[in-house]
Amino acid sequence: MNVPSQRPRIAVGRLYHESNRLNPQPATADQFEIQRGEAVFECAGSTLGGIIRYLRQANVEILPLISVSGPPSGLVDHEFYQAIRKELVERIEASRPDAIILDLHGAAASTEIADLEGDLLAYLRRHVGPFVAIGIGLDLHAHLTDSMLENTDICIACKENPHSDVVECGMRAAELTLQVLRGDLRPVVISARVPMILPGAGETASGPLGEIHDRARELAAGTSGIVDISIYNVFRYADDYNIGQVVTVMTDGIVSLASQVAKDLAWAFWDNRERFVDDLFEIQDAFEIVRSQPANRPYVMADMGDRILAGAPGDSTVLLAEVLDHFAELRAALTITDAVSVKHAQDAGLGATVTLDVGGQISPGLSSRRITGKVIHLSDGAYTLAGPFHGGEASSLGAAAVVLVEERVFVLLTSKPGFSHDPAVFTSQGIDLKSVDFVVVKSGYHFAMNFKGIATPLLVSTPGVGYYRKGIFRYDKSRFWPEHDIDLKAIETKAFGGRSISR
Ligand SMILES: [Zn+2]
């Protein structure tokens, strides 16, 4: 058993990005918030925030590495990724920790590699050797690969979508990693993979996924030795071998039932696959609700096809065109990613009337929309997320401009795609959400949590690269239901871990 003689030294960091390869614009350094040293501690509403909270309570020495996070977008620029990877290892080598605990998304990909986190963890393990514990807390939309499991001691996901429990996930990842370090836990992980995605019904509190989580909680409570069950609903726009739903069962030492538990839960996905569908409103129906049911205003419309929270560019003008062309009595606020139009608005200046062709420049298949309006707000786009998801964190829209069209539609032009699931995106730019009938967000799940009590949610079926429909996207490596004909005869399990950290 390993009992560190001094206060354990634990290095912490984050690399958080969900990368949608269908977004043609790579995610470059300017799209990320990067903190180094003590600034890494300013992340209360995240998995990293939970890691730090637990470690402070545990009275260990915390060594901040680097935190890199940004809204989902295109593939991470590979040179940028390599620079971050190099810096992370240099900081680890300089601080010589007993353990490393990281907040990773799990569905990041670079312009050259499909499994960024798997690459990062293999690289870290090679550099630190076998005797430094590595723990990670992942998003449940991770594309969980064998490399992530092979190169970590603790690998768990948050359990809820929308992700209301990321802080708890971080705390648990830290708790378990410290147990490994003390020799109190010898984690064995069994994984079971099902070759399917969830075309819809991705919320964990209800529907088939709610039932699977209920069953997982029951099995965890009723089977001695189970430490964690994590259930991964793979990011639907990743393209890699072995895409699928993954269940991991972590036990303390070998527990023979673990494999059966993992298989049972994996089969529950397959057996219920036809039930994973979303209930979305067609565009006209959503607008008709806003028009005819004023008591529930303001509404918050989720632009499902252009979800920045799924890595889409956020430049769709489809809902903007609808309100301008067909609903002249409605007042609205929405964001459009368009750095060029921001520049034009800046050049024209506050109070100027401008005519701009906004949006539609990045998303394949979408087009721009001409607007004429008054520039009523200009800023550098810096704001703080209101939360609860990532609440308190600094974020940026890049240079931003608000153009008020027809005295009723606030078009918030941003240079970078923003975390528009959060009301602070609008309020930070001088837009009062009580003054509009609806606001458009580029999010499908998380907005419901951050807009709770502020606006009535409506999920709207819109075009774009942020919403999976069978047959519309190209997949080169992945094979999964419902995109491909899969004849599932058996579900195999794999085992990882079982080693102890002793020096
Ligand atoms: Zn997620």
**pLDDT one digit per residue (tens) for the chain, 503 residues:** 444 458 999 999 999 999 999 999 999 999 999 999 999 998 888 999 999 999 999 999 999 999 999 999 999 999 999 999 999 999 999 999 999 999 999 999 999 999 999 999 999 999 999 999 999 999 999 999 999 999 999 999 999 999 999 999 999 999 999 999 999 999 999 999 999 999 999 999 999 999 999 999 999 999 999 999 999 999 999 999 999 999 999 999 988 999 999 999 999 999 999 999 999 999 999 999 999 999 999 999 999 999 999 999 999 999 999 999 999 999 999 999 999 999 999 999 999 999 999 999 999 999 999 999 999 999 999 999 998 888 888 999 999 999 999 999 999 999 999 888 999 999 999 999 999 999 999 999 889 999 999 999 999 999 999 999 999 999 999 999 999 999 999 999 999 997 766 54
**Together in a domain, 211 and 328:** no
**Together in a domain, 188 and 293:** no
Q: Is residue 470 part of a domain?
A: no
Q: Is residue 474 part of a domain?
A: no
**Together in a domain, 306 and 257:** no
Q: Is residue 473 part of a domain?
A: no
CA-closest candidate to residue 72, choices 235, 237, 310:
310
**Together in a domain, 333 and 351:** yes
Other CB atoms within a 10 A radius of the CB of residue 413 amount to 32
Distance 391 CA to ligand 1 centre (A): 16
Distance 236 CA to ligand 1 centre (A): 11
SS3 322: helix
Q: Is residue 482 part of a domain?
A: no
Two tokens at 378? 């200009």
Do the Cβ atoms of 306 and 313 come closer than 8 Å?
Answer: yes
Distance 420 CA to ligand 1 centre (A): 15
Do the Cβ atoms of 356 and 344 come closer than 8 Å?
Answer: yes
Distance 375 CA to ligand 1 centre (A): 35
Q: Is residue 476 part of a domain?
A: no
Q: Determine the Cα–Cα distance for residues 215 and 262; give it in Å rounded to an integer.
A: 11
DSSP H or E segment with residue 143: none
Q: Is residue 3 part of a domain?
A: no
Q: Is residue 478 part of a domain?
A: no
Distance 496 CA to ligand 1 centre (A): 24
**Together in a domain, 87 and 217:** yes
Distance 183 CA to ligand 1 centre (A): 32
Distance 254 CA to ligand 1 centre (A): 30
Distance 218 CA to ligand 1 centre (A): 23
Distance 94 CA to ligand 1 centre (A): 32
**Together in a domain, 444 and 305:** yes
**Together in a domain, 260 and 328:** no
**Together in a domain, 263 and 404:** no
**Together in a domain, 15 and 40:** yes
Distance 331 CA to ligand 1 centre (A): 31
Q: Which domain holds residue 365?
A: 283-460
Other CB atoms within a 10 A radius of the CB of residue 388 amount to 18
Q: Determine the Cα–Cα distance for residues 146 and 369; give it in Å rounded to an integer.
A: 45
**Together in a domain, 102 and 63:** yes
Distance 105 CA to ligand 1 centre (A): 8
Q: Give the total number of structural domains in the chain.
A: 2
**Together in a domain, 258 and 295:** no
Distance 182 CA to ligand 1 centre (A): 31
Distance 344 CA to ligand 1 centre (A): 35
Distance 139 CA to ligand 1 centre (A): 5
Q: Token pair 């070759």 is at which residue?
A: 195
Distance 279 CA to ligand 1 centre (A): 19
**Together in a domain, 265 and 287:** no
Distance 156 CA to ligand 1 centre (A): 13
SS3 13: strand
Distance 163 CA to ligand 1 centre (A): 7
Q: Determine the Cα–Cα distance for residues 250 and 254; give it in Å rounded to an integer.
A: 9
Distance 298 CA to ligand 1 centre (A): 26
Q: Is residue 374 part of a domain?
A: yes
